[in-house]
Structures are given as C-alpha cells and as structure tokens.
C-alpha cells in the first residue's frame, strides 16, 4: 500500500505531471496526436478487420491487424492490446491503439486492439467482464488460425485489465483456453487501485477502498501464479514514470517472481509514461524487440 500522504496522491497518480519533455497539457495532446497518426498509417498499410463486435454495446468491439494478404496465415501469435485512460478517457482507446501494429505484424504477429465501455456509464467491474468476453472471441480466432499463443498487453489502466485476465479462469467452455495465453507485456500499470480512491480519477469510478482492492491485480497474485506457471510476463516502466507507478510495477514483478512466475522488469531510460508506448511503432525500439522476443518472433 502507498505511503504517500493522502493530500499528495492526486499529484503522484497524474502521469502527465511527471513528463520531462513537456507540460502536462502538451504531453497529453502530443500523445493523442502520435497514436492517431501511427494508427492511421497502420490502417493504410495493413489489412484491418475493424469494428468487430464481441458484445452488444457500441464500444464492445475489436480491431484485428495483419500483414497484407496474410489473414489466413496459420500459427502466428496474437498480441492483444488494451489502451489506457483510467477507464474513462474518451480520446484514447481501440480506435487509435493500432499505432504499434506495423512492426509486430511485419515480424509475423496478429495484433488485436480491444475496446470496452467507459466509466461512469458502466462500472469497472463491468469493464472487466467485457474484456473477459472479448477474450472468448480471441480464443476462438486463435484456435481457428492455429495460433502459437496469445500475448496480453496493455498500457496504464489497460495493463491493469490485462493483469486481471492473467488471473482469470477461462475454462467454462474449453479447458484449453487458459493455456492459449502464453505471456503478457504490462506497461506502466496500476495494480493496487486503493490509492486512486482518494484522487479525482475515482470521480467516475465511484470505488470504495474495499471495491478497489477487490479489483486490484495485486490482490490476485496467487491466482495469476496458479494460471501462469508456463507464461512469460514482462513488466515495463519509463524512467520518468511517476515514482508510485514505478513502485507498483516493481512490487508486482517481485511478487510474481517470488510466486514462481517467469516475470521480468524493464526500466526504459529517458522515457516517460507516454512516449514509452508511443515508440512501439518503431522496429528498432528496445521494448518492441522485447515484445517480439517474448512471442518468439524474429527481430529484423
């Protein structure tokens, strides 16, 4: 649990205030611009199956990115990505999460970006249920294409959701489903939600401290470990991420490793909370290379 005084939590859980490159407003505007620009480029250069519904609501949709004329390729790994935004931000989401698709698909992966409804229209608990529902669609696609495995990923709040999927049981329909998840890349997530209760982030979430702990990956380390004995988990932060984010990511990595999970911690130099993921559009970026290595794909 955080030792930060309650009156300082707002500052410590506002990543835009910690950028070394720009003012808070500038870094947010730049982030959205980069995501939009490189997602547009990916949609132009790649085959995209867009707006695939996995549920009944408008935001319960997926986009599937593959290299041109390779949608039927058998055996490729699936990289399933969830964008951040503290489960409420409308300017980031599935629609501009394809920015990372080009270098991953060039190496042979299928990239799927996952959308979900936002708070306060739904609760965080409902969002988790939606993402789990999306996973059943991804399992079906993985089996149809004889995929070598599914690799979960997310940034910030998306990393929280991805981590919770590592703790989930997917054996209601097919006992093989959970085994299809081979690893995860968790990018600067929040894994103990209790500090957020005392910040403005919680205004649309409406979490009590008890609710927050029930929805925190840190509360499910044993479940993650039980399902993840054969999985590889990479946890990454930027040098200029808020210290609280760095602490939470380091603690989760240690807890998982102590519980027998093959977890690794990656500290990315000269990167803040935002450009650490923006650079995933670059094949030569260290984190891009780690994603490919995790999926056992060639680094070109």
DSSP 219-281: GGHHHHHHH-TT-EEEEEEETTS-HHHHHHHHHHHHHHHHTT-EEEEEEETT--TTHHHHGGG
Q: Are 158 and 82 in contact (CB under 8 A)?
A: yes
Encode pLDDT of 18-30 as tens digits: 999 999 999 999 9
Can you give the pLDDT at residue 174?
Answer: 57
SS3 73: coil
Q: Cα angle vertex 254, ends 238, 99, to 5°?
A: 35
SS3 182: strand
For the CA atoms of the chain, what is the radius of gyration? 18
CA–CA gap between residue 45 and residue 47 (Å, rounded): 7
Can you give the pLDDT at residue 5?
Answer: 81
Can you give the pLDDT at residue 7?
Answer: 83
Can you give the pLDDT at residue 2?
Answer: 64
CA–CA gap between residue 270 and residue 19 (Å, rounded): 10
Can you give the pLDDT at residue 299?
Answer: 79
| Strand extents, DSSP E, the chain | 47-53, 61-66, 78-82, 110-114, 150-155, 181-187, 232-238, 262-268
CA–CA gap between residue 83 and residue 98 (Å, rounded): 10
Give the residue ranges of the chain where pLDDT is below 70.
Answer: 1-2, 71-73, 91, 171-176, 300
Locate 276 and state its tokens.
């650490």
Q: Count CB-CB contacts under 10 A for residue 69.
A: 8
Domains with residue ranges and CATH for the chain: 6-294 (3.40.50.1820)
């Amino acid at each position: 649990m955080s030792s930060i005084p309650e009156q300082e939590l707002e500052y410590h859980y506002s990543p835009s205030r910690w950028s070394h490159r720009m003012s808070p407003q500038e870094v947010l505007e730049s982030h959205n611009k980069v995501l939009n620009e490189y997602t547009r480029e990916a949609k132009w250069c790649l085959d995209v199956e867009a707006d695939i519904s996995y549920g009944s609501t408008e935001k319960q949709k997926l986009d599937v990115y593959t290299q041109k004329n390779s949608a039927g390729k058998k055996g490729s790994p699936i990289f399933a990505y969830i964008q951040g935004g503290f489960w409420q931000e409308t300017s980031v989401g599935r629609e501009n999460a394809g920015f990372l698709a080009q270098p991953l698909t060039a190496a042979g992966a299928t990239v799927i970006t996952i959308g979900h409804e936002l708070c306060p229209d739904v609760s965080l608990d409902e969002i988790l249920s939606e993402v789990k529902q999306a996973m059943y669609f991804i399992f079906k696609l993985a089996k149809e294409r004889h995929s070598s495995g599914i690799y979960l990923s997310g940034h910030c709040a998306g990393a929280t959701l991805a981590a919770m999927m590592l703790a989930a049981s997917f054996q209601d329909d097919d006992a093989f489903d959970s085994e299809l998840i081979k690893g995860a890349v968790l990018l600067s997530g929040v894994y103990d939600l209790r500090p957020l209760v005392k910040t403005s982030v919680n205004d649309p979430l409406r979490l009590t401290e008890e609710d927050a702990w029930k929805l925190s990956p840190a509360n499910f380390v044993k479940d993650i470990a039980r399902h993840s004995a054969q999985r590889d988990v990479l946890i990454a932060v930027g040098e200029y991420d808020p210290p609280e984010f760095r602490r939470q990511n380091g603690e989760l990595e240690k807890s998982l490793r102590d519980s027998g999970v093959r977890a690794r911690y990656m500290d990315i130099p000269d990167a803040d909370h935002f450009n650490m993921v923006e650079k995933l559009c670059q094949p030569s970026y260290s984190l891009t290379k780690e994603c490919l290595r995790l999926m056992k794909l060639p680094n070109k």
